[in-house]
Amino acid sequence: MEKHLSLLIMGGDQRYVEVINQLASKGIDIFVAGFDQLIFSHSNIHNEKLDQVDFRRIDAILLPLGGTNARGEVEAVYSEKSLNVSPDMLKKTPEHCIVYTGISNEYLDRIVKQADRKLVRLMDRHDVAILNSIPTAEAVLNIAIEETDYTIHGSHVMVLGFGRTGVTLARLFSAVGAQVSVAARKDADLARITEMGLRPVHFDHLADYIAKTDICINTIPQQILEAAILSKMNPAALIIDIASKPGGTDFAFAEKKGLKTIHALGLPGKTAPKTAGKIIGTILDRLLTQSS
């Protein structure tokens, strides 16, 4: 890449406002599309319509953390117009252009491959996911406090999954006095859960432990809380599912059973957008510098 970088940011939420300002202050030329409702004062920020962007000078493209939908549309909360990512658009960029996204799907994988460009999934990176788990866990704790009529201290909390977010959730809820169980499959994870002073539960035995759960937090993007598990839950239990769509809960069955469920998506962007934006901006600045 050239030393003077040009980055196109297509859509995004309040987190990306922080990213835009942070990277512009680093001397990067920022072209933004999907921010029609905002005015930026920094001279390095160019607020343009997508069809006005000269893709020949774009060194990198940043898409929203949710990537695109199956039609190539991206979320743009600061615009009433839809934005689409197309293979023709990517083919107009220089060969060294890198596409950054939070997560990807079949559509985005395919068009990036057709354009012969590099795709970087930020949420696949340990640094992004671990740092992002902090505002996520705080947001889940806030939901749990607001949606229950008892203290978190002393309550029985079940965390499903011991990935990067699951670890932070388990640690935070334990720190405020909850009796935390964590469901996992790997022997190493179950050993670590034990070492942390928490109750390890193998997923094969989840049904045996779920009845005493007051708050169940799912982090796994596949249906874990199916009818057989939900039928054994306390009707007064709260389910907070933070897994990406469609989540890991049989929401229809849960509603039929009268269980209170909350599918909480994009929590850092809703509860701590400035912090979440700083995380993305700092790591993206590092990646852009390494690629230049």
Please tell me whether residues 91 and 48 are part of one structural domain: yes
Please tell me whether residues 132 and 98 are part of one structural domain: no
Please tell me whether residues 116 and 134 are part of one structural domain: no
Domain membership of residue 185 (yes or no) is yes
Please tell me whether residues 109 and 47 are part of one structural domain: yes
* Average pLDDT score over residue span 114-129: 95
Q: What is the pLDDT of residue 3?
A: 52
Structural domain range at position 259 = 128-269
Domain membership of residue 155 (yes or no) is yes
Per the CB < 8 A criterion, the answer to whether 105 and 67 are in contact is: yes
Q: How many domains does the chain have?
A: 2
Q: Confidence class of residue 1 from pLDDT cuts 50, 70 and 90?
A: very low
Q: What is the pLDDT of residue 164?
A: 95
Output the average pLDDT for the chain. 95
Please tell me whether residues 99 and 137 are part of one structural domain: no
The amino acid at 105: N
pLDDT at 292 over 80: no
Q: What is the pLDDT of residue 291?
A: 78
Domain membership of residue 183 (yes or no) is yes
Beta-bridge partners for 262: 240
Domain membership of residue 52 (yes or no) is yes
Q: Confidence class of residue 4 from pLDDT cuts 50, 70 and 90?
A: confident
Q: Confidence class of residue 2 from pLDDT cuts 50, 70 and 90?
A: very low
Please tell me whether residues 97 and 135 are part of one structural domain: no
Residue 68 and residue 257: Cα distance in Å, rounded? 34
Q: Confidence class of residue 269 from pLDDT cuts 50, 70 and 90?
A: confident
Q: Write the CATH number for 169.
A: 3.40.50.720
Domain C-terminal end among 59, 93, 124: 124
Structure tokens at 150: 């008892």
Residue 284 and residue 280: Cα distance in Å, rounded? 6
> pTM, whole model, 2 decimals?
0.87
Please tell me whether residues 201 and 227 are part of one structural domain: yes
Please tell me whether residues 114 and 132 are part of one structural domain: no
* Average pLDDT score over residue span 49-72: 94
- Which residues 6+ apart lie within 8 Å of 156 measured at CB? 178, 179, 181, 212, 213, 214, 215
Please tell me whether residues 140 and 27 are part of one structural domain: no
The 10s digit of each residue's pLDDT in 202-256 is 999 999 999 999 999 999 999 999 999 999 999 999 999 999 888 999 999 999 9
Residue 241 and residue 178: Cα distance in Å, rounded? 18
Please tell me whether residues 137 and 261 are part of one structural domain: yes
Please tell me whether residues 240 and 139 are part of one structural domain: yes
